[in-house]
Structure 1
Amino acid sequence: MTNKVLLCHSTIAGNGATISVLIEQANFFAGLDYEVEVITFSGSKDSRFDERVKVTNINSLSKINIIDSSVSVLSLIGKKITTRLPDLVTSYIFKPFSRVNFVFNSDKDLVSKVYSAFNYKIIENYCDGSISSIQKYYKKFKRRDLRFKNGRLNYVSYYEFGVKTKTNYYNGIGLKYLEKIWNREEIEVSRTQFTNSGLISKILKKHNGQCVQEEKFKGFFRELVVTKNLGEDVGTCNYIVKSNILNRYIESRYGEGDAIISVNQTMLHYISTLKTKATTIGQVHNSWLSQGSEYMASFEFAIKSSFRLNRTVFLTSGALEYIKGNYGVRNGIVIPNAISDVEKKFTPFEEKLMLDEIKLVIVARLTDIKQIDHAIKAFSLAIKENSRLRLYIYGEGPSRGKLEKLARELEVSEFVFFMGYESNKDQIYSDKSLLICTSKAESFGMTLVEANSYGVPCLSYDCPYGPRDIIRDGSGILVDLNDITELTNQILNPLLYTKRYSNESLVNADRFLKKKIYTEYEKIIEKGTN
């Protein structure tokens, strides 16, 4: 059996679907006596994690570029400089120089020290007893110029053949906060900003004085790249590149017989860079496969990295076939998301028939891709035929305001209830009769499985790529994407409100129980790299 399993996720903050999947997977492996660790760079350990699961926030591993002010700076010849410089970034330790010259002014104050050796010269300049600058010359054509202010390093400039190529700027506590790079014509081509923790926060790349690319970082990772043209954003790519500090941490802990799993796309590229004998598995969760998605560049970046993994897991057969046909991925496998096998509390079908209302439910982020306005429009037509219908919408998001406005305009606001975010699944599904999904695209459609597990049939657009894999005959109905008229007709279809459909929904949900799904991951891990 594998000794250790590492699950990588860019964040465990919030209530997203992939975070729920992450928690379920971590707890499953912990229950099988694996040593489980979750690595993230946003959020802290959630109470839903098994107590045996270790959660490591990347930012706690180490802080870089921070100066230890208690360390005395050593001189270039291995002896302490008379003037103590606790805030100098680097301790200078070199082989002894063949010649050292001291320069004094008329008051016999030290003005400079000149260290000379073959192809190497260093000049230390002093003012009022404190060092003011250091020039370092390499092989006659390279120079490094260190400037000090009040005994503290202010900036360091780098030169080649007399042309400045780079300057690093340091704040009053010795942290690098800015780096500028110039080309041979001394035109600035990039500017890098650093956080107070010494981590990169932003890189601006320039051409002819204009910003052409902006890269934003989160923790140790490049998170977002925005391409610009004449100041306008023309492209966006989300991804994560390697961090040497994190690499050393993981590669020293996880090896042959262990497993490293990326639970979201943004970490997929990262684990593909690791030099390890552990089994590496990437999971593709997000609905970025839809053509024209603003995240398509990020998706393609992740997929091209997946060739280096042992396995890439897709949630649906449609997604896998698309990737095979368009990107040639050959290590793909379909493993859907899983639901907990915890006993659920819900209203028996016979009791629902006795209720005054027929409760329809939507569970989704309130964003444009979910097209909840389609459901409200269909509902407004259906309620004219069946006055018992009511629509409950669970979730939050930027579209809530305009959806509430739409309900008022269609004169159904008293029958449409915006419930906000709710984590209690019993509360959401227990007394509902039908779940509606009108998404433009889905990575899987977890709410469809959750609804079925409560005996609630589903009515969904046949969008790429989840619903077709989930809904089986009797557990719900698929309608053509964006066909609001047919959606309305099916809301009024009496078959969806029968005991047969309720029972078939329960049977269908059993296919996605955790104990059945996650054993597929066990098989991959046990097979390893064979």
Structure 2
Amino acid sequence: MIKKICLLTDSLGSGGAEKMVSNLAISLSEKGYTVTVVTMIDVVVYPYKGSLYNFGKIKNSNKLRSFFKFKSFFKTQQFDVILDHRVRSNFIKEFIFSKIIFKNEKVIYCVHHFNLELYFPLVNVPWLSRSTFVKNRGIVAVSKEIQKKISQRLGLESHVIYNYAILNSIGVHSDLDILSNSNYIIGVGRLTDIKQFNVLIKSYKDSKLIGHGIKLLILGEGVEKRNLNKLINDLHLNAFVKLMGFKSNALAYIQKAKALVLTSKSEGFPMVLIEALSLKTPVISFDCKSGPAEIIKHEENGLLVDNQNADMLTESLNKLLLNDAFYKKIKGNLNQSSNPFSEENNIQKWIDLLRKFK
């Protein structure tokens, strides 16, 4: 019987995939599994349960010595199953991992993004890409669109298990003046090109929200921070748009927001949309690949915008936020509907998969 689980992740901070590892560590531990979280980078922000092996802190300049430490750890631990949530884009690294470190392990490879190149190195050469996986394996995709793409491009079967939110850790630790005023919309995520917060800022500027005193808060850190600050300055939006940085209590901000907006080029199964809807906060999102179309019921729990249509995004901001009757309808639907992305529903799918995995 499978009881000893390793959750292998890049880190425990700042991303949706990492947040899902945090949630899984809590859920599986509470279900009686012995859980060890292994982080490749020394970033531990999100809560977890079980043990932590912070390889990011152990790594040193001697790559060979670090490699043998890593190999020895897995040989000693003898996990029943490894759930690998890392980005796996380096062919040589993943080939070595599969043939040496994980050769005799049972591994479930988790795919968190529609861009398969992040998880299947050399995806355009399927037989080489498949060679980076161990023989005793399973694959979990976080959306049906990703599952379909894995089948089409690699000829591999996979299971779909949606991300889910855990809401019992909401806390307000700072910015009480902001959180006491719910007259804002919010964007949450890494400040990277793929998240397109510049598109959100421009659409907000073109909307009528400023005239109604509705501000825009953006939570996250990343390489685009300087460019976004410049854009805010150039558009004279300093009094209305705030880059808040990374917040460990992001759920508190999402819960108080009038709406959450997602403007990504691509996704996997966006945690922020699930968290917002679980908190009864309406959402607006581009219909990007993948996830939003499987999460949002258009004009029932939010608005689904034609993919990358910035003008339609501006119209949607006005429609949701400035039409009181329509907004109350959406809020009412959220308050009355059940949550298909609950912990209870989706952790059971993980448990069922672990029980079947041999």
- TM-score grouping bracket, smaller chain normalisation: 0.7 to 0.9
Superposition TM-score, scaled by structure 1 size: 0.57
Cα 1:420/1:472, change in 2 over 3 Å: same
Query: Equivalent residue of 1:329, what SS?
Result: coil
* Deviation readout 1:168-222 (Å, 9 max, x if unpaired): xxxxxxxxxxxxxxxxxxxxxxxxxxx76x4349xxxxxxxxxxxxxxxxx42xx
Distance 1:251 1:30 in 2: 22
Distance 1:46 1:335 in 2: 24
Query: Equivalent residue of 1:39, what SS?
Result: strand
Query: Equivalent residue of 1:518, what SS?
Result: helix
Query: Equivalent residue of 2:121, what SS?
Result: helix
Cα 1:44/1:434, change in 2 over 3 Å: closer
Judge conservation of contact 2:141–2:159 (CA < 8 Å) in 1: yes
Distance 1:10 1:270 in 2: 17
* Deviation readout 1:7-36 (Å, 9 max, x if unpaired): 222444x43333222222122222122222
Aligned residue runs from structure 1 range 359-438, under 5 A: 359-383=184-208, 386-438=211-263
* Deviation readout 1:225-264 (Å, 9 max, x if unpaired): xxxxxxxxxxxxxxxxxx6x64454345437xx2221122
| Structure 1: 5+ residue stretches without partners | 64-194, 202-218, 221-242, 347-354
Distance 1:35 1:356 in 2: 42
- Give 1:199's match in structure 2, choosing from 60, 63, 81: 63
Larger radius of gyration: 1
Judge conservation of contact 1:448–1:458 (CA < 8 Å) in 2: yes
**Letter of the 1:378 counterpart:** S
1:302 to partner: Cα distance: 6.0
> For the aligned residues, what is the CA RMSD?
3.3
Matched with 2:109 is 282
Query: Equivalent residue of 2:252, what SS?
Result: helix
**Letter of the 1:328 counterpart:** G
**Letter of the 1:499 counterpart:** K
**Letter of the 1:37 counterpart:** T
Distance 1:470 1:268 in 2: 32
Distance 1:46 1:486 in 2: 36
Cα 1:499/1:29, change in 2 over 3 Å: same
Query: Equivalent residue of 2:212, what SS?
Result: coil
Distance 1:395 1:254 in 2: 37
1:328 to partner: Cα distance: 0.7
Distance 1:42 1:384 in 2: 40
Aligned residue runs from structure 1 range 36-435, under 5 A: 36-43=35-42, 48-50=47-49, 53-58=50-55, 198-200=62-64, 219-220=66-67, 246-247=70-71, 249-251=73-75, 253-254=77-78, 258-266=80-88, 272-273=98-99, 274-276=102-104, 279-289=106-116, 298=121, 300=123, 305-306=132-133, 308-330=135-157, 332-342=158-168, 358-383=183-208, 386-435=211-260
- The structure in which a higher percent of residues are helix is 2
Matched with 1:350 is none
Q: Does 1:500 align with 2:325?
A: no
Identical residues among aligned pairs (%)? 24
Q: Does 1:490 align with 2:354?
A: no
Matched with 2:352 is 523
Distance 1:248 1:343 in 2: 35
Matched with 2:3 is 3
Distance 2:182 2:21 in 1: 36
**Letter of the 1:298 counterpart:** P
Judge conservation of contact 2:164–2:341 (CA < 8 Å) in 1: yes
Query: Equivalent residue of 1:417, what SS?
Result: strand
**Letter of the 1:401 counterpart:** R
1:365 to partner: Cα distance: 1.2
Cα 1:324/1:514, change in 2 over 3 Å: same
Distance 2:233 2:189 in 1: 20
For these two proteins, the number of residue pairs brought into alignment is 337
1:422 to partner: Cα distance: 1.0
Superposition TM-score, scaled by structure 2 size: 0.81
**Letter of the 1:42 counterpart:** I
1:38 to partner: Cα distance: 2.3
Matched with 1:93 is none
Matched with 1:475 is 301
**Letter of the 2:275 counterpart:** E
Aligned residue runs from structure 1 range 10-49, under 5 A: 10-12=10-12, 14-43=13-42, 48-49=47-48
Query: Equivalent residue of 2:52, what SS?
Result: strand
- Bigger RCO (CA 8 Å, 6+ sep): 2
Judge conservation of contact 2:170–2:249 (CA < 8 Å) in 1: no
Matched with 2:177 is none
**Letter of the 1:26 counterpart:** A
Judge conservation of contact 2:219–2:244 (CA < 8 Å) in 1: yes
**Letter of the 1:486 counterpart:** M
Query: Equivalent residue of 2:232, what SS?
Result: helix
Distance 1:268 1:24 in 2: 25
Distance 2:265 2:137 in 1: 31
| Structure 2: 5+ residue stretches without partners | 173-179
1:509 to partner: Cα distance: 7.2
Cα 1:260/1:310, change in 2 over 3 Å: same
